[in-house]
Structure formats: structure tokens, C-alpha cells
Amino acid sequence: MIQYLRDLLNVFLNDKLLQLDLSEVVVESLVRGGLILLVLFACWIVHQIAQGPIIRSFERFSRYTNLQWDDVLVEKHFFRRVLYFIPLILFYILSSPILAGTAMLPLSQTLISILLLIAGMMALDALLSSLVVIYGNSAIAKEISITPFVQVLKLVLYFVTGILILSLLLQKTPLYFLSGLGALTAVLMFVFKDVLMGFVAGIQLIANKMVAPNDWIEMPKYGADGDVTEITLTTVKVKNFDNTITTIPTYALINESFRNWRNMNLSGGRRIKRFVNIDLSSIKFCSAEMLERFKRIQLISKDIQDRQQEISAYNNEHNVDESTLVNGRRLTNIGVFRSYVEAYLRHHPKIHQKMTFIVRQLSPSEKGLPIEIYVFCKDTNWTAYESVQANIFDHILAVVPEFDLQVFQEPSGSDFQKIALPQIGDLKH
């Protein structure tokens, strides 16, 4: 075909150009140039068809299927980059007979080979990017990230492509350039220090399952307190709860301590650990009137009756003189209050009953007697968790006076005013 076109064009040009008294060399050059232009035009037409109707066919096909991977390949332009091979290969095949026997043939072949290498690199790059997206949508991606490894593969791909291009340009074997890299090892290690450290750190993070995408981590040194959005070869990106982004070096997660809240989410319970300070002066033994009033509280009514029977039996058995309060056993308002808080939390639908459940006293201090609540909320979502915790302590703080107790609070300005105002009134009189 090419030979036929060449002969046809040669006859046509000879008839026209020989009339201009041009040499055969010039005529031959013009014939070759004309054929190369025809080949370039044909390759351009093929390229337009490949990047137009064929690509649109791939896109329509991917939309009609239920598969995910084909949509990702289209989105990452994998098929578009693969189709770059068609016009390049076509030009390589058609131009070789035209340029045969000329100095332009090796140059043309070298140029096309370089373009084919670049097209192949771009196609593999798109394939690796698609692999990251497809893997990221799988269940195992929540535990193990392959992004650092894919980035290493891309670096190797770029490096190998660069070596092959240099070997084509300088007409040397790739081994020639690789042998010369030995002397540059120290320089390369210095330049790619962060990359190498990040790669090693990434392997350790994944192997030890220290951190994964969507983990909530806390690292005060770097101001990080939020969800891990991306783990790359050199950095870990954390989206903080104030919507800011913190970038942490990957190797820092190996060398320094950080808090990972992943197990909290997996366990299904988020800890509530908070205490209420009770004024020591309000703690006392329960009187008969107080006990009758406490019995009307449904959550602890039966418990008080059982405790009264138990205490009465003990006191009778030991002939306790009950005329003095300190003799024998008696209920206290702080003990009844603790029982109520425990019963209230036992009946709370948002409190995990199968995890650690403690309502205890801490050591008294100058700020009163702390009654600590140590339980776990079923909802680990931050917003819901804070709402549940606030509702619990709203109720507890409001119910404290019902047990003739007082919450300890350090004196404020208004308290001193209440003391000073009566004294000022007495002075006026």
C-alpha cells in the first residue's frame, strides 16, 4: 500500500517537479515528505476516532454494567491512555518503509519508542491509581492501606521509564546507567531520605495495624485530633474536628506516641468518666421521715426496704442501742444517693450494661466528696455521646437536693454579696 502510494506520488511529482528542473534528490525528499504528511494525517484521524467514538463507547458500556472497576478505569482515563498506542504504532509501522535508507529512520524510531514508553507509563500510572480507588472501597481497606506501596511502585515506574528513555537517546544499555548509580547511592539516599523512611514506617504501620484510614487519632505535638483521611508514602493526613487538616510525617507515628480511638469504636462503648462533688457538711444519717420519703422513689423503693430489713435484723441480733445514732448500722443519705444513681444508670437505655459499670466514692478533698460515675455509652458517635452524658448529669445534679445533699461549689462574688448586704443594712439602723 505504502509502496503503491509512493509510486503514484512519485509519478505525479515527477511530472510536475521535473518541469522545474529540480534534481532527483530534491524530488525524492519531497516525495518522502509528502508521504510522511499523509501518514501523520492518517494517524491524526485514527487518534480522533480512538479518543472520540471509541472512548464514548467505553463510557456508555461502563455505565450500563453493575461493575465498579470499569467505572473507576474510565474515571482515571486508563482506556484513553491505552488508546494512545494505536496512532503511535500505526505511525511506526507506516513510516519505516518511507524513511528506509535515510538518516531520519533511526531518529523517527527513537522518537516513537520514547513516546510509546511515556504512553505505557501513563497507562500503568492510571491503572495503579484505579487499583487504589477500587481497593479503597473494599472492607479490608479500613484496616490496611496500600497507598504507600502503590506510591513506591509509581516511583519505580517513573525511574525505570527515565532510565529506558536515556538509554534510547544515548544508545546505551540500561545496565550502563544502573552501574553508574552505585557512586550516587549516598546522594540518592539523602535526596529520598523522607521517602525511604516513610516507606519503612508505612510497612510497620500496616504490619502492626497501628493506624488505618478513618481511625480517630490524637497527637497533641502536631495539633492532630480527628480522623485519618489518607496515608501516603511520606505523610498521614488527619482531618481535625474543626475541619482543619493536619499533616504528620509517616515516620513520626513510629517514633512518637499517639492515641488511637479505633478500639473504642469497635468495642461498641465509649467511656463516661465524670464525678460530682458533694458538700461534706450535707452528709448525714437517714431519719425515719427521710426513709419514708425515699421509699416513694420507684427505682430504689424495694432496695431501701430490703436494706432496712437487713439492718434491723443485724441490730436486733447484736442488741444495738438505737437511741444513739452511731450505734449499729444505719442508712446514710449519701449511700441512698449512690444506690439511686446506680439504679438510674442500670435502667438507662444508652448505657452499656455488659461493660465496666462503677458508681464509687473517691477520696474526700477540700472540694467535697467526689461521687464518680464510670460507665460506657452505647453510642460512640461524638455528638450523640456528649448528648447522653449531658442528659445523665443534668438529671443527677438536679436530683441531689432530693436526698438532702448539696453539690459543692466554691464561693463566688454573689455569695460574698449575700453576706455583705445584711451587714450593711445593720449599720444603717
Q: What pLDDT, in 10s, does the model give residues 126-179?
A: 888 888 888 877 777 666 677 777 877 888 888 888 888 888 888 877 777 666
pLDDT at 372: 95
Q: How far apart are CA 9 and CA 98, in angstroms?
A: 12
The predicted model scores a pTM of 0.57
pLDDT at 246: 92
Which residues, 6+ apart, have CB-to-CB distance to 35 below 8 Å? 2, 5, 6, 9, 98
Given a cut of 60, whether residue 292 has pLDDT beyond it is yes
Given a cut of 80, whether residue 32 has pLDDT beyond it is no
Q: How confident is the model at residue 276 (pLDDT cuts 50, 70, 90)?
A: very high
* Averaged pLDDT, 198-202: 75
Which residues, 6+ apart, have CB-to-CB distance to 18 below 8 Å? 27
- Residue 353: Cβ within 10 Å count: 12
pLDDT at 382: 84
Q: What pLDDT, in 10s, does the model give residues 392-417?
A: 999 999 999 999 999 998 776 666 66
Q: What pLDDT, in 10s, does the model give residues 221-253?
A: 888 999 988 887 778 899 998 889 999 888 888
Given a cut of 80, whether residue 190 has pLDDT beyond it is no
Q: What pLDDT, in 10s, does the model give residues 68-121?
A: 777 888 888 888 888 888 888 888 888 877 777 777 788 888 888 889 999 999
Give the residue carrying C-alpha cell 461493575: 67
**Cα radius of gyration (the chain):** 41
User: Chain-centre distance of CA 127, in angstroms?
Assistant: 22
Q: Is 281 left (phi over 0), alpha (psi -120 to 50) or beta?
A: alpha
Given a cut of 80, whether residue 362 has pLDDT beyond it is yes
Give the residue carrying C-alpha cell 509517616: 250
> In 137-261, where does DSSP find H-type helix?
147-170, 174-180, 185-191, 193-207, 252-255
pLDDT at 183: 58
Given a cut of 60, whether residue 20 has pLDDT beyond it is no
Domains 174-267 and 270-317+329-413 share a fold: no
pLDDT at 19: 55
Pick the more confident residue, 171 or 286.
286
- Grid coordinates representing 36? 510522511
Instruction: Provide CATH code, domain 270-317+329-413.
Output: 3.30.70.100
pLDDT at 361: 93
pLDDT at 423: 57
Domain borders along the chain are 2-137, 174-267, 270-317+329-413
CATH fold group of domain 174-267: SH3 type barrels. (2.30.30)
Percent of the chain clearing pLDDT 90 (strictly above): 25
With beta carbons less than 8 A apart as the criterion, state whether 295 and 425 touch. no
Q: Which of 101, 108, 100 is nearest to 40 (CA)?
A: 108
